[in-house]
Structure 1
Amino acid sequence: MTKPPKPKPLLQDADQPVRSRPRKLRDPAQPNLPLDPMPDRIEPCLALLKQKPPKGPQWAFEVKWDGYRLAVHIAPSGVRILTRGGHDWTERFPAIAAEARRLPVATAILDGEAVVFDERGRSDFGRLQQSLGGRGGKRMSREAVLMAFDLLYFDGRDMRQTELGARRHLLEGLVPAGGEEAIRLSEEIEADGEVLLRIACEHDLEGIVAKRRDSPYRSGRLGDWLKIKCFQSDGFLIVGYEKSTASFGGIGRLLLAARKGNELVYVGGVGTGFNERSAAELREQMDKLIIAKAAVETGRKRNAVFVRPELVAEIEYRAWTHDGKLRHTSYKGLRETQDDVAIFDLSGQV
């Protein structure tokens, strides 16, 4: 005699309704879903300087923007915009804050760079700083645009352990490519790194950034992100200036210093890159810091005025001389202490 077939799991008794196993009622005091708490602040992932772009499909490339690094925190309670050093600059970027409120998301943290573009569509650090009222200014910048390049928190989820490719996918859904708003996507460029760097330099851009597609978001300068510049640009302390009646602001040349361990070392000067406005603002700042004797040994200087080494200038340069002085220099602007700027350290460099 043939055995009857075994009943299907959901049909143990065809005459009885199918019911789930009774479960304990949900505690209404518990949240519906376990959410990751939004961090108050995240130390940024920083790009490590390299001379040549890396090779391989594991690397994604973007343009290197020349501005202020910002984190935009979006929550039901409001929007906060934090500088790299953790200072709250929400009120200074009203257009970016307003656009953040319009994004279709309840909670998020965007990582990006605030920039101001010139007539050719290039990010211009000097223009950004002028739009904020110069170093130490309190002006609001309505011209600044956030070029968003990472998504660190999204709809209740901490994304830092998620690989870059997935974070970018979600970011592109939140900030579509090709936008013209105050928050725009820093687009990934499909190209060979060396070709892209050459094109960037031909267009007078600062350089490119390479990022490992499979990397989590790790704070610090650990090599997951690399920067390759068309030219060198670093922060140097202003230790004085040479007066000139023929130059903007009466500044013939700034005198610069770098760190070497715990000491300061004179590294030459810069006499180009100023315009009438930036020179006037710089002179006003320096004249508040005048001292009788130079903080470092600068050699004999004619018509020199020495200042306390508190102002950090962003200087573009092409090379170093054999005796440790900067060559082919150009002044780009004063860095803000809120931007957590690094002063160039000569240790092991020249």
Structure 2
Amino acid sequence: MLNQSIKPMLLYPLQPNQIKSWKNNSLKWDGFRILIHYDNGKVRAFSRHGTEITSRFPELLDIQLPVKSAILDGECIAFDLTQPKDQPPKYWWDDAMARFNTKTESGVKRIMTTIRAHFPLWDILYLNGEPIIKKTFEERREVLESVVKHSETLSVTPIYDSGHKLFQKAKELGLEGICQYKGDAPMILDGRSERHVVKVKAYQYITCQIESMRIQGRFGWGLSVNGKYVGILEFPPGHEEVRAFHQISKQLIRGESKGWRYFEPLISCKIKFQCYTKNGKLRSPKFEGFCTTTSVQ
């Protein structure tokens, strides 16, 4: 298990009206899953798919834990070091992906000067030569808190009693959502179960105008809000919605250029998305419906 690729337990997705009454709840960090293997002072890191990514995160090489060996389960998030010092630190999914996708030694050294990686942890799977995944979440949590102390590199994800209150706070702050952990549940590797650990995403909604359409290659609608471009819808709506859009949009064509057709932005639709990206675009926008029936007759 130690120093080997393992697949952690995935979070079972729930809807906001399915939030559980469990007493172990945390914010869902907007980064990517990481497994940190600590072996007598040496550190290796793996993605949830088993890719070793140690060389991309030199921050991890200086970790010192009060144990011989451990496997820590958590997330990698990233902070922009160039933002004004008088602003509270903010982490961005875009920056976490930039760190993940930077692989060369020179590139890693360069990006570390502007984007700092941090690793909030929520579980521990292995300790001093033995797997501890059969222990309950609350038992593993006690072990984790005894092993990891807060530093610039590592922290233990805070736990809150009420999932409903935490979810509302996540929505207010524009965060990704929450995770919920069943206190008496063990860990199941390479699986997913509603009876162990779940996630509830705090999706946001916005009304957009369709200002363009990709006419070569895969599906794409260019979206704008009050004249400001906010990204591309790449998850196609249903057949009837696409057909209706084609019927009305023929009257709104302004021109074509480089594989795109441009329209007068008069057709509005409701879009569900995860969050705003660092440059103000919608992350993972999904079509929820046209705003008026008259727009698509």
TM-score by length of 1: 0.56
Q: Which residue of the partner structure matches residue 107 of structure 1?
A: 69
Q: Which residue of the partner structure matches residue 203 of structure 1?
A: 173
- 1:149 and 2:122 aligned: yes
- 1:126 and 2:108 aligned: no
Supply the distance in 1 between the matched residues of 2:93 and 2:240 (Cα, whole angstroms).
Answer: 25
Q: Which residue of the partner structure matches residue 187 of structure 1?
A: 158
Q: Which residue of the partner structure matches residue 132 of structure 2?
A: 159
Supply the distance in 2 between the matched residues of 1:93 and 1:212 (Cα, whole angstroms).
Answer: 31
Supply the distance in 1 between the matched residues of 2:241 and 2:117 (Cα, whole angstroms).
Answer: 33
- 1:254 and 2:222 aligned: no
Aligned length: 237
Are residues 212 and 252 of structure 1, via their aligned partners in 2, closer, same or farther at CA, if it must alter by over 3 Å? Answer: closer
Contact 2:43 2:60 (C-alpha < 8 Å) held by counterparts: no
Are residues 120 and 38 of structure 1, via their aligned partners in 2, closer, same or farther at CA, if it must alter by over 3 Å? Answer: same
Aligned positions of 1:1-350 closer than 5 A? 38=2, 40-52=4-16, 54-56=19-21, 58-76=22-40, 78-99=42-63, 102-117=64-79, 119-131=87-99, 135=101, 138=104, 139-140=107-108, 142=112, 143-176=116-149, 179-189=150-160, 191-219=161-189, 220-223=191-194, 224-231=196-203, 239=219, 253-257=231-235, 302-303=255-256, 305=258, 326-327=271-272, 332=277
Supply the distance in 2 between the matched residues of 1:44 and 1:185 (Cα, whole angstroms).
Answer: 18
After superposition, the CA RMSD in angstroms is 4.0
Higher strand share: 2
Supply the distance in 2 between the matched residues of 1:232 and 1:96 (Cα, whole angstroms).
Answer: 34
Contact 1:240 1:304 (C-alpha < 8 Å) held by counterparts: no
Supply the distance in 1 between the matched residues of 2:70 and 2:135 (Cα, whole angstroms).
Answer: 15
Are residues 239 and 90 of structure 1, via their aligned partners in 2, closer, same or farther at CA, if it must alter by over 3 Å? Answer: farther
Supply the distance in 1 between the matched residues of 2:26 and 2:277 (Cα, whole angstroms).
Answer: 22
Supply the distance in 2 between the matched residues of 1:267 and 1:331 (Cα, whole angstroms).
Answer: 25
Are residues 328 and 211 of structure 1, via their aligned partners in 2, closer, same or farther at CA, if it must alter by over 3 Å? Answer: closer
Are residues 252 and 187 of structure 1, via their aligned partners in 2, closer, same or farther at CA, if it must alter by over 3 Å? Answer: closer
Are residues 305 and 103 of structure 1, via their aligned partners in 2, closer, same or farther at CA, if it must alter by over 3 Å? Answer: farther
Higher helix share: 2
CA offset at residue 214 of structure 1? 0.7
CA offset at residue 196 of structure 1? 1.5
CA offset at residue 180 of structure 1? 3.2
Supply the distance in 2 between the matched residues of 1:303 and 1:253 (Cα, whole angstroms).
Answer: 18
User: SS where residue 257 of structure 1 aligns?
Assistant: coil
User: SS where residue 119 of structure 2 aligns?
Assistant: strand
Are residues 54 and 107 of structure 1, via their aligned partners in 2, closer, same or farther at CA, if it must alter by over 3 Å? Answer: same
Gap regions ≥5 residues in structure 2: 81-86, 206-216, 243-248, 261-268, 279-283, 288-297
Supply the distance in 2 between the matched residues of 1:258 and 1:208 (Cα, whole angstroms).
Answer: 27
Contact 2:204 2:274 (C-alpha < 8 Å) held by counterparts: no
Kindly provide the CA deviation profile for residues 231-288 of structure 1, in whole angstroms up to 9, marking residues without a partner as x.
169xxx975686x9xx99xx8853513699xxxx8999xxxxxxxxxxxxxxxxxxxx
Supply the distance in 2 between the matched residues of 1:105 and 1:259 (Cα, whole angstroms).
Answer: 52
Report 1 or 2 for greater relative contact order, CA contacts < 8 Å, sequence distance ≥ 6.
Answer: 2
User: SS where residue 152 of structure 1 aligns?
Assistant: strand
Q: Which residue of the partner structure matches residue 23 of structure 1?
A: none
**AA aligned opposite 2:47:** T
Are residues 197 and 345 of structure 1, via their aligned partners in 2, closer, same or farther at CA, if it must alter by over 3 Å? Answer: closer
Gap regions ≥5 residues in structure 1: 1-36, 269-298, 308-320, 334-342
Supply the distance in 2 between the matched residues of 1:231 and 1:82 (Cα, whole angstroms).
Answer: 28
Contact 1:41 1:86 (C-alpha < 8 Å) held by counterparts: yes
Contact 1:240 1:305 (C-alpha < 8 Å) held by counterparts: no
TM-score by length of 2: 0.65
Contact 1:146 1:183 (C-alpha < 8 Å) held by counterparts: yes
Kindly provide the CA deviation profile for residues 119-169 of structure 1, in whole angstroms up to 9, marking residues without a partner as x.
54443101223345xx56643254000111100001111011111111110
Contact 1:256 1:266 (C-alpha < 8 Å) held by counterparts: no
Q: Which residue of the partner structure matches residue 293 of structure 1?
A: none
